[in-house]
């Protein structure tokens, strides 16, 4: 039920102060995107027409979304503007480094947007949030098992499915199911049975990812599980016990499979391996990103773009080099602010499902951001995870929009009709 305190969160119609601010942000975002478009197009006459079409459609789609949801439906679209801004950076960097892959990234953004809208609409009803919990859990485990059996090793991990020219990373989509199942399972009054059921599901997901040697994603899943379990139980002793068991399991795996440990042998020693595979990527990332200074050398003028996985795992370094360290840190801060938005909105959510799902999704984004940024800068072992919304990759982009849907659904302002109904019921 909407409270008086919650009513203050509503910013009002587009003619209000919030409406004017959102319009100003949209105008500034469009100006920035036009400048970025010019930077890319001025250096690529061969793909000029195709890239111009993608950039134009993207900007027009943003304004259509703004008109429909902010003007017509009178909703706040702060989260969407953030996602549009970050996704556009991914689109421009991809077009600059790999023009042939721009179409895939362009399509992935709009598939992600469609998934976002569908998820927010589906979660409008609190009565159906647990309806697909069990089928989704079965599907998630089945998809990971299918990947383990039929996927081929790519860059040391068995986590990609190839369907003709299309490559899919199923573990990215399972992230959404992992959060949904956890939030739906623990939505009701806590019981040992429900918590145990989710523990087995989480162990199954993390275990299958471990067998695929996808340890970066496994760590993200595990951190999210800890967050979900703590949000619902608040039992620190149980969490410590689970973490201890996980550490023992990880040590056991590294002992039995010593070749896995070799993948992290260069951690904190990358400068000793700057000319071999152990530290080549990270040392170049540090050198080139620092050379960009505060404002960068300009889109398309960097050197890191010639290094393998520059637009995926090393995207933070590439952005720091070409767009500037300020832009790189602004992106990180923006992703962290999503966590604060989730925590703030969760205080007024309609049920514990939305509180758990929003905080877990935001936590997953923050953990993944930390692994990407600290991994390429050698503060943490390089695990090869992507930077949400920014790294090139269709599966990652779609998943990022899906995670944002959980944060959006927790905000009571996302459903103006429900707010009006609650207001009428109070009368």
- Give per-residue pLDDT as tens, 48-63: 999 999 999 999 999 9
Are 143 and 173 in contact by the 8 Å Cβ rule? The answer is yes
Are 90 and 107 in contact by the 8 Å Cβ rule? The answer is no
Instruction: Measure the CA–CA gap between 23 and 77, rounded to whole angstroms.
Output: 11
- pLDDT, residue 62, reads 96
pLDDT in tens, 325-372: 999 999 999 999 999 989 888 877 888 889 999 999 999 999 999 999
pLDDT in tens, 390-402: 999 999 999 999 9
Q: Give the Cα-Cα-Cα angle 307, 313, 315 (nearest 5 degrees).
A: 75
- pLDDT, residue 186, reads 77
Buried-state track 218-251, b at ≥16 Cβ within 10 A, e below 16: bbbbbbbbbbbbebbeeeeeebeebeeebeeebe
pLDDT in tens, 219-278: 899 889 888 877 766 666 666 656 666 665 665 555 555 555 555 667 777 888 788 776
* Alpha helices (H) along 123-257: 133-150, 170-185, 192-211, 215-233, 236-256
Instruction: Measure the CA–CA gap between 56 and 238, rounded to whole angstroms.
Output: 52
Beta strands in 363-425 (DSSP E): none
Predicted structure pTM score: 0.89
- pLDDT, residue 250, reads 64
Instruction: Measure the CA–CA gap between 143 and 149, rounded to whole angstroms.
Output: 10
Query: Which residue has 């959060």 as its token pair?
Result: 179
Q: Answer whether residue 195 shows pLDDT above 80.
A: no
Nearest Cα to Cα of residue 215 among 268, 165, 267? 267
Q: What is the DSSP letter of 71?
A: I
Nearest Cα to Cα of residue 172 among 389, 416, 330? 389
| Ranges of each domain in the chain | 128-426
Q: Mean pLDDT, to the nearest integer, of 156-166?
A: 81
For 100-104, 213-217, 255-259, 404-408, which range has the lowest pLDDT when averaged over its residues? 255-259
Q: Mean pLDDT, to the nearest integer, of 121-139?
A: 85
Instruction: Measure the CA–CA gap between 139 and 185, rounded to whole angstroms.
Output: 15
């Amino acid at each position: 039920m909407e409270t008086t305190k919650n009513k203050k969160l509503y910013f009002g119609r587009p003619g209000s102060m919030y409406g004017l601010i959102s319009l100003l942000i949209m105008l500034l975002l469009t100006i920035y995107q036009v400048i970025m478009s010019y930077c890319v197009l001025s250096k690529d006459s061969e793909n000029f027409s195709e890239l111009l079409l993608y950039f134009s459609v993207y900007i027009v789609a943003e304004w259509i979304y703004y008109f429909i949801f902010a003007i017509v439906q009178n909703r706040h679209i702060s989260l969407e503007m953030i996602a549009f801004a970050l996704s556009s950076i991914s689109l421009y960097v991809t077009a600059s480094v790999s023009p042939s892959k721009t179409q895939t990234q362009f399509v992935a953004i709009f598939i992600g947007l469609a998934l976002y809208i569908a998820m927010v609409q589906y979660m409008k009803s609190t009565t159906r949030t647990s309806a697909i919990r069990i089928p989704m859990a079965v599907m998630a485990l089945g998809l990971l098992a299918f990947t383990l059996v039929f996927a081929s090793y790519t860059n040391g991990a068995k986590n990609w499915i190839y369907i003709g020219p299309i490559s899919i990373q199923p573990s990215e989509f399972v992230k959404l199911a992992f959060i949904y199942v956890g939030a739906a399972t623990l939505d009701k009054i806590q019981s040992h049975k429900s918590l145990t059921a989710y523990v087995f599901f989480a162990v199954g997901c993390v275990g299958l990812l471990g067998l695929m040697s996808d340890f970066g994603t496994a760590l993200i899943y595990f951190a999210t599980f800890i967050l979900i379990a703590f949000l619902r139980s608040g039992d620190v002793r149980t969490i410590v016990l689970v973490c201890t068991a996980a550490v023992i399991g990880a040590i056991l795996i590294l002992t039995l499979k010593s070749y896995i440990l070799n993948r992290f042998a260069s951690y904190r020693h990358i400068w000793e391996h700057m000319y071999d595979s152990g530290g080549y990527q990270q040392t170049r990332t540090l050198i080139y990103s620092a050379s960009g200074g505060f404002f960068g050398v300009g889109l398309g003028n960097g050197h890191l773009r010639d290094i393998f996985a520059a637009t995926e795992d090393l995207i933070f370094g590439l952005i720091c080099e070409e767009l500037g360290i300020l832009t790189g840190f602004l992106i990180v801060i923006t992703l962290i602010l999503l966590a604060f938005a989730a925590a703030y909105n969760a205080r007024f959510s309609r049920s514990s499902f939305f509180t758990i799902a929003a905080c877990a999704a935001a936590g997953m984004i923050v953990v993944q951001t930390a692994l990407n940024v600290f991994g390429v800068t050698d503060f943490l072992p390089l695990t090869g995870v992507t930077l949400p919304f920014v790294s090139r990759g269709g599966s990652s982009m779609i998943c990022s929009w899906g995670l944002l849907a959980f944060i959006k659904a927790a905000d009571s302002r996302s459903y103006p009709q429900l707010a009006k109904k609650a207001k009428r019921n109070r009368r």
